[in-house]
């Protein structure tokens, strides 16, 4: 049995549920919106930690599952009345499940503690470099003069958040340079702007799915105008493929979304690793079987 904790209408969860059904795999979906009703229990006996939940009136042993997909996104229930007691039950249930997931004796995509590596982009960059990828020249600073000196050295630079909170990658130019004094209140990461072909890689166990992304914007997640980002499946060189697997394994992320760029000199660069990728945004336009790989891995099967 596969256990999914998340919102069933959210893209990655929906694709996984469909893939599991096509593979005839048993699945239990714990709807995050209904966490206050989970009746979740975690117990420790004789050195074994087990988790049980009531589902449709009968107890389910989560510890007997082969895999757990943790896709907790804190969805808002629009129009729902505020109930402090119910809110507290919700928070406690989600927290208990996440805590158990860190030590659960089954396959988990992904455990909360390893996912926290994305909370520090500088730390993650060090791990990426150790895996053998090129990393763009980077500074993290709250000093505007340091930023301007960095730009003089590299010509064109971009900036982004140093935390796991999503931020739009922009080039530092025009009016944004005029706002540079604002970094005094918040250390920010600046990198040399690279040009080439963006490649998004999803690693699932040892399965690797890659696609090239053609976009007119620096941050293709926010493509504007009539022509958005166009994606096509891509083949990776064997060395790059193995490097992606090694990087995901080193970060203890069985499911990872890795952002790469191949430059004009055929050098491969890595920007970051997403520990909870919305892979549906890449599977749907390309047909890459990411959800099928995830369902297979969670079922306890490895790639051939």
Question: 114 lies in a domain?
Answer: no
Please indicate, yes or no, whether residues 100 and 6 belong to a single structural domain of this protein: yes
Residue 7: count other Cβ atoms within 10 Å of its Cβ: 20
Please indicate, yes or no, whether residues 184 and 92 belong to a single structural domain of this protein: no
Please indicate, yes or no, whether residues 167 and 213 belong to a single structural domain of this protein: no
Please indicate, yes or no, whether residues 182 and 201 belong to a single structural domain of this protein: no
Please indicate, yes or no, whether residues 13 and 82 belong to a single structural domain of this protein: yes
Please indicate, yes or no, whether residues 58 and 24 belong to a single structural domain of this protein: yes
Please indicate, yes or no, whether residues 19 and 35 belong to a single structural domain of this protein: yes
Please indicate, yes or no, whether residues 101 and 11 belong to a single structural domain of this protein: yes
Phi then psi dihedrals of residue 80, to 5 deg: -75, 135
Please indicate, yes or no, whether residues 24 and 57 belong to a single structural domain of this protein: yes
What's the domain range around 30? 2-109
Residue 49, pLDDT score: 86
Confidence of residue 31 (pLDDT cuts 50, 70, 90): very high
Question: 214 lies in a domain?
Answer: yes
Tens of pLDDT, residues 44-90: 887 788 899 987 788 899 999 999 999 998 876 555 667 889 889 99
Strands 107-109 and 67-71: parallel
Alpha helices in the chain (DSSP H): 11-22, 84-103, 112-115, 121-130, 144-154, 175-178, 238-250, 280-286, 290-298
Please indicate, yes or no, whether residues 29 and 71 belong to a single structural domain of this protein: yes
Top mean pLDDT of 170-179, 224-233, 280-289 is at: 280-289
| Total number of domains in the chain | 3
Tens of pLDDT, residues 38-52: 999 999 887 788 899
pLDDT > 70 fraction of the chain, expressed in percent and rounded: 94
Residue 229, pLDDT score: 81
Q: What is the mean pLDDT of residues 239-252?
A: 96
Question: 301 lies in a domain?
Answer: no
CATH of the domain at 205: 3.30.470.20
């Amino acid at each position: 049995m596969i256990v999914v904790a998340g919102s069933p209408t959210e893209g990655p969860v929906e694709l996984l549920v469909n893939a599991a059904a096509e593979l005839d795999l048993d699945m239990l979906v714990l709807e995050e919106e209904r966490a206050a009703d989970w009746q979740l229990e975690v117990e420790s006996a004789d050195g074994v930690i087990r988790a049980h939940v009531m589902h449709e009136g009968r107890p389910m042993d989560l510890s007997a599952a082969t895999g757990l997909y943790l896709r907790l996104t804190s969805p808002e229930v629009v129009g729902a009345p505020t109930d402090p007691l119910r809110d507290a039950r919700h928070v406690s249930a989600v927290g208990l499940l996440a805590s158990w997931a860190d030590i659960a004796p089954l396959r988990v995509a992904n455990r909360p503690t390893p996912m926290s590596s994305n909370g520090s982009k500088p730390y993650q960059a060090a791990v990426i470099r150790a895996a053998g990828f090129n990393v763009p020249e980077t500074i993290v600073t709250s000093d505007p003069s340091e930023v301007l000196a960095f730009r003089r050295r590299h010509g064109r630079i971009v900036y982004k958040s140093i935390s796991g909170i999503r931020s739009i990658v922009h080039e530092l130019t025009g009016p944004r340079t005029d706002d540079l004094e604002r970094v005094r209140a918040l250390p920010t990461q600046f990198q040399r702007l690279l040009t080439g072909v963006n490649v998004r890689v999803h690693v699932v166990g040892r399965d690797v799915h890659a696609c090239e992304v053609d976009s007119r914007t620096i941050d293709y997640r926010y493509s504007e105008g009539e022509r958005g980002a166009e994606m096509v499946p891509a083949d990776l060189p064997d060395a790059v493929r193995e490097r992606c697997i090694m990087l995901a394994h080193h970060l203890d992320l069985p499911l990872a979304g890795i952002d790469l760029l191949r430059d004009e000199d055929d050098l491969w660069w890595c920007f970051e690793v997403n520990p909870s990728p919305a892979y549906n945004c890449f599977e749907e336009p390309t047909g890459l079987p990411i959800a099928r790989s995830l369902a297979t891995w969670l079922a306890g099967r490895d790639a051939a």
